[in-house]
Structure 1
Amino acid sequence: MAVRPAAGERTVSLPDLQANCARCFGLCCVALPFAASQDFAADKEAGTPCANLQSDFRCGIHAHLRDKGFRGCTVFDCFGAGQQVSQVTFGGRDWRQHPGTARRMFAVFPVMRQLHELLAYVTEALDRSEARPVHAGLRTAQADLERLTLSPAEVLVELDTEAVRQEVNGLLVQAGELVRNAVPGKKKNHRGADLFGARLTEAKLRGACLRGACLIAADLSGADLRSADLIGADLRDADLSGADLTGAVFLTQAQLNAARGDARTRLPASLTRPAHWQA
């Protein structure tokens, strides 16, 4: 890695990379800013608690976020960074009882989120047999990332996350290509493409590269997206009704939560059908 990892070891499991709000001090509700829009019903500055945050650090309208105008909250995923910062980096000392920790805690949270997001992608790539040629490199990256997550707050706030991301991304690109190359036939390359509102009904996108593509409000109903690389693709309001996403690479729950789908949409086993999708 570009930055020397902190001393110590950590063995990350899938639950570590999933948000556990019960073990977090409501960091996403405080540390991050949002602006009044179709995704948020009000403005909030970074470091200011959301008006809906309760004394126990839980959201008072969690079950009704979309109805109350806070759709943006439902598509955010910290990848387990919240509980790591709350319980490990700051040893269970919350920012209310220990206000002196607040500024550093809020600064560390977005850094930890990036590390955990990378860990989630690396862990997925290690589970893909097609990516075996780069597994050794991925295991090294995984160990280095795990050690970085154990760094003290003063180290984390100074971490060059872009350098870390660039180094790991090289391995993720290779892993994605290996998975896609295992699909027979010619594959489409829409990396970084602007497909805003595109009509892609029943499109043959099996094994396609859609890394970083803008698919906002795209019609992907009935599309074949098996083994497609979707890392960083913007799926806000994309119609995935009846689409097949089996084996899609680097698809996240947050991406699905931002999209629209129905009971016919086929998903990877590790992901959950969003509650707001059509029956």
Structure 2
Amino acid sequence: MTLPALRSDCSSCFGLCCVLLPFSAVSGFGVDKPGGRPCLNLLDDDRCGIHTTLREDGWPGCTVFECFGAGQQVSQVTYAGVSWREQDNLGEMGAVLSVMRQLHEMLVHLTEVERRSPDPAARAALAEIEELVGKDPEALLTHDLDGLHENVGRMLGDASARLRRAWPAAADRSRQDLAGQRLSGDLRGSSLRGATLIRTDLRDADLREADLLGADLRDADLRGSDLSTALFLTQPQVNSATGSGATRLPEGLARPGHWVG
């Protein structure tokens, strides 16, 4: 199985997220922009004119976003290297990018299952999605994405249960609103999937084997916390949080430049 790259490579993309996706100033993107309109910071060569000073210039949302490699897949594979500048189908490309990003995020989670708790069903889903991401726009847009989400979600839940079995008494805080609260100490094996953790104080917490699938970690304080073996943690979640040099991250996730220390 040869999976596509699952981390963004802007040098192989046509600035698709800067053109096709809508964003707003209140979400940290400097200005309001509808989908299909190029960002005012996008240069003619598809590079960002303020990439090195995004946070300082009031665009922190851009530093949080991660396409999981969907941008270059759509640019180089789906549309065979033909830029949006040479086409008149921005609506279609925007829909394709949205689907591709979801597929790539599923691949990220399924490869974690394959690495940590292999399962035949998850392996079959990996192969199915790997084949799907190489197909044409029509096949991507007509695929039963909801059904695929449901199946993959079930597999991730099963894998989470297997991996957290060593902590049968761990708290289940799935989908709870824990915004602004203080959660410290031993949280190993906890389920925090889908939880709202905006500005939650998680300093020095032990989050090994904690399930963080879909948890909202915007401005969560992760300084000194141990997430080295946390489950289903993604780069956008890490990018949206606050951490330090003492925060331990899973292998493969990068420490954001805005973190202290």
Report the TM-score when normalising by structure 1.
0.90
Q: Contact between 2:167 and 2:188, CA under 8 Å: does it hold in 1?
A: no
Equivalent residue number for residue 4 of structure 1: none
Tell me the SS of whatever aligns to 1:277. coil
- Which structure has more relative contact order (CA 8 Å, sep 6+)? It is 1
CA separation in 2, counterparts of 1:100 and 1:125? 39
Query: CA shift at 1:162, angstroms?
Result: 1.9
Equivalent residue number for residue 153 of structure 1: 137
Q: Contact between 1:236 and 1:255, CA under 8 Å: does it hold in 2?
A: yes
CA separation in 2, counterparts of 1:197 and 1:188? 18
CA separation in 2, counterparts of 1:95 and 1:41? 23
Q: Contact between 1:38 and 1:69, CA under 8 Å: does it hold in 2?
A: no
Query: CA shift at 1:273, angstroms?
Result: 1.2
Equivalent residue number for residue 260 of structure 1: 242
CA separation in 1, counterparts of 2:188 and 2:177? 19
Runs of 4+ in 1 over 4 A off after TM superposition: none
Equivalent residue number for residue 75 of structure 1: 64
Amino acid at match of 2:160: G
Number of residue pairs matched? 261
Amino acid at match of 2:9: N
Equivalent residue number for residue 28 of structure 2: 39
Does 2:105 match 1:114? no
Query: CA shift at 1:99, angstroms?
Result: 2.1
Query: CA shift at 1:69, angstroms?
Result: 1.0
Question: Which residue of the other structure, out of 171, 175, 178, is the alignment partner of 2:162?
Answer: 178
Q: Deviations over 1:93-151 (max 9, x none)?
A: 0011x2224332222100100000001100111000xx23xx11111000001111122
Equivalent residue number for residue 80 of structure 2: 91
Question: Which residue of the other structure, out of 177, 193, 218, is the alignment partner of 1:194?
Answer: 177
Equivalent residue number for residue 9 of structure 2: 20
Amino acid at match of 1:237: D
Question: Which residue of the other structure, out of 117, 123, 128, is the alignment partner of 1:139?
Answer: 123
Equivalent residue number for residue 250 of structure 1: 232
Question: Which residue of the other structure, out of 37, 45, 53, is the alignment partner of 1:56?
Answer: 45
CA separation in 2, counterparts of 1:185 and 1:101? 51
Query: CA shift at 1:51, angstroms?
Result: 0.4
- Tell me, which stretches of 5 or more residues in structure 1 are unaligned? 1-9
Tell me the SS of whatever aligns to 1:60. coil
- Tell me, which stretches of 5 or more residues in structure 2 are unaligned? none
CA separation in 1, counterparts of 2:146 and 2:177? 24
More off after superposition, 263-272 vs 41-50: 263-272
Report the TM-score when normalising by structure 2.
0.96
Query: CA shift at 1:74, angstroms?
Result: 1.0
Query: CA shift at 1:38, angstroms?
Result: 5.2
CA separation in 2, counterparts of 1:254 and 1:145? 21
Q: Contact between 1:17 and 1:80, CA under 8 Å: does it hold in 2?
A: yes
Question: Which residue of the other structure, out of 185, 194, 199, is the alignment partner of 1:203?
Answer: 185
Query: CA shift at 1:68, angstroms?
Result: 1.1
Question: Which residue of the other structure, out of 253, 256, 259, is the alignment partner of 1:271?
Answer: 253
Question: Which residue of the other structure, out of 197, 204, 210, is the alignment partner of 1:228?
Answer: 210
Q: Deviations over 1:56-82 (max 9, x none)?
A: 111111111111111111111110000
